[in-house]
Amino acid sequence: MNIVSRRAVLAAITAGAAGVLTGCAQAPSSAGSAGASFSPSSDLAAPGDSIPQVTIKGAFTPYGDELLGVAGIDRGYYEAVGLTVSPEPYGAQLDLLMNLTPLVNGQVDLGAGYVPTVANQIDTVKNVVGFCISDVSYTYRIVAPTGKYTTVAREMTAGKTFTEALTTVMAQLKGERLICVESGSPLFRNAVAEAAGLDLEKDVTIEFLSSPDMVKAGFAGRAEFLSPSSAVHIVQLQQDGWEPLVDLRQVIDNLPAEQTLPLRFTYSGLVTTTDYAQDNFETLLRFTSVIYRLIDEMQADSEATAATFVDYVNSYTGTDLTAAELAGTFDNIYSLRGFDEATAFYTDSDDPFFYETVATANLAVLAGQGVIDEGHTPDELSIAGKVYAALVRYRQEADKALASAPAGDLKTRAQAQYDARNYLDAYRFAAAAQN
């Protein structure tokens, strides 16, 4: 079920090449200064016994992982950290993967989004950054009617190497039509074609359609090879007689790292503007804490958590998923990263999805393809590492304050916030309890 996925990813790679939203320039100049110039205060928040009440103009994008925050609204988690998302009940229905304008013009303050979208538009949209990475996505794949064609998995089970298997599989597309998502990233199909020795321009007829129209075309027999990038539509296809010939996880697991690094740039999470971040950093910390709390619950009981927001997912995206199907996408298509796991994104250079390495590789590919100008750095795309570092610091300070705070209501409330991943107010309450 995944919903809609992704990701147009590098999304505008194709769009950008066609002159649609993309992005900077010789020197990162203002684009470079966007994320890189953002610097939160090094001072700790003042102790206190209450949480400021803030209304946020928010937007949740119509994809399964991006809609996880809706569960936080229904469960009262944002209210518990002083946040109200407007317009009620679930914010604006805006697709920030496809269009960042609502952020730029102030229509929304923050929303669910996709860091690769920022990369594609960095020359023209210089003040939008990711501030939380919740998961990575493995949606990219090529699918065909089940049993009609051989697959990489079958070929490898029969004893072939991955490259041999991929060559056999991709040869089946020669002279055929492949339908891809309009405005989607060409990196996956280009990578598998190159590894298999297939010339997409000469050997394959490529057609572009929206995700829903792609599914309809496949079911109508207009093409037998599809490259969906939406989890929800992947689930729909695979439930109704289609299977993956090759998917992103297989590519990442089997091709050399230098070939797959750009393909790993599939970070989902939350986006905002640098101006909003500078003026409302504590709000971002509280908002992010809710996402980590929801990830905890999704990992503990994915179906029960999915049941909280599956009806909204279906009404928003026009799908008909069950809670189990929605939960399933978080098991095999979306790879959630909880608070303790997330440290690898920002500190472990050996992690396959280490942000700095992967983002640098992706920016280089985009620049090399002429989608954006050269000279950009990962800091321009995301401040999520700074948000995460702040939460880690507040957890450390909360640990010390809770250890020395006397028993009582404030300490109890501090512990409750701590257990809910709101380390900012856990520290504030526990520090106030010491006075």
In terms of domains, do 20 and 114 share one?
yes
Q: Which of 262, 278, 295 is the last residue of a domain?
A: 262
CA angle 91, 40, 354 (to 5 degrees): 80
**Quick one: which H or E segment has residue 336?**
strand 334-336
CA–CA separation, 315 and 378 (whole Å): 36
Over the stretch 176-218, which tens digit does the pLDDT of each residue have? 999 998 766 677 898 899 999 999 989 999 999 988 889 999 9
Residue 372 is assigned to a structural domain of this protein: yes
CA–CA separation, 77 and 277 (whole Å): 21
Would you say 204 and 192 are in contact if contact means Cβ atoms under 8 Å apart? no
In terms of domains, do 319 and 377 share one?
yes
C-alpha separations of 93 from 99, 181, 299 in Å: 12, 21, 26
Residue 7 is assigned to a structural domain of this protein: no
Over the stretch 8-54, which tens digit does the pLDDT of each residue have? 333 333 333 222 222 222 222 333 334 446 888 899 999 999 999 99
In terms of domains, do 195 and 291 share one?
no
Residue 55 is assigned to a structural domain of this protein: yes
Would you say 186 and 193 are in contact if contact means Cβ atoms under 8 Å apart? no
CA–CA separation, 430 and 71 (whole Å): 28
- How much is the pLDDT for 116? 85
**Quick one: which H or E segment has residue 353?**
none
Residue with tokens 């409750």: 416
pLDDT of the chain, 435 residues: tens digit per residue: 333 333 333 333 333 322 222 222 222 233 333 444 688 889 999 999 999 999 999 999 888 888 999 999 999 999 999 999 999 999 999 989 878 999 999 999 999 998 988 988 899 988 999 999 999 988 889 999 999 999 999 999 999 999 999 999 999 999 999 999 876 667 789 889 999 999 998 999 999 998 888 999 999 999 999 998 777 788 888 888 999 999 999 999 998 887 888 889 989 999 999 999 999 999 999 999 999 999 999 999 999 999 999 999 989 887 788 999 889 888 778 899 999 999 999 999 999 899 999 999 989 988 988 889 999 999 999 999 999 999 999 999 999 999 999 999 999 999 999 999 999 999 999 999 998
Which residues form the domain of 253?
141-262
- How much is the pLDDT for 32? 36
- How much is the pLDDT for 35? 47
Residue 183 is assigned to a structural domain of this protein: yes
Residue 405 is assigned to a structural domain of this protein: no
C-alpha dihedral sign at 66, 71, 73, 78:
negative
In terms of domains, do 18 and 124 share one?
yes
Q: Which of 262, 289, 310 is the last residue of a domain?
A: 262
Residue 6 is assigned to a structural domain of this protein: no
- How much is the pLDDT for 183? 63
Q: Which of 262, 283, 314 is the last residue of a domain?
A: 262
- How much is the pLDDT for 117? 83
The number of folded domains in the chain is: 2
Residue 334 is assigned to a structural domain of this protein: yes
In terms of domains, do 300 and 257 share one?
no
Residues in the chain: 435
Residue with tokens 């399964």: 64
314 burial class (0-12, 13-18, 19+ CB within 10 angstroms)? middle
- Kindly report the number of other CB atoms within 10 A of residue 409's CB atom: 10
Question: Is residue 374 helix, strand or coil?
Answer: coil
Residue 44 is assigned to a structural domain of this protein: yes
- How much is the pLDDT for 24? 27
In terms of domains, do 166 and 210 share one?
yes
In terms of domains, do 273 and 128 share one?
yes
- CATH code, 178: 3.40.190.10
Question: Is residue 391 helix, strand or coil?
Answer: helix
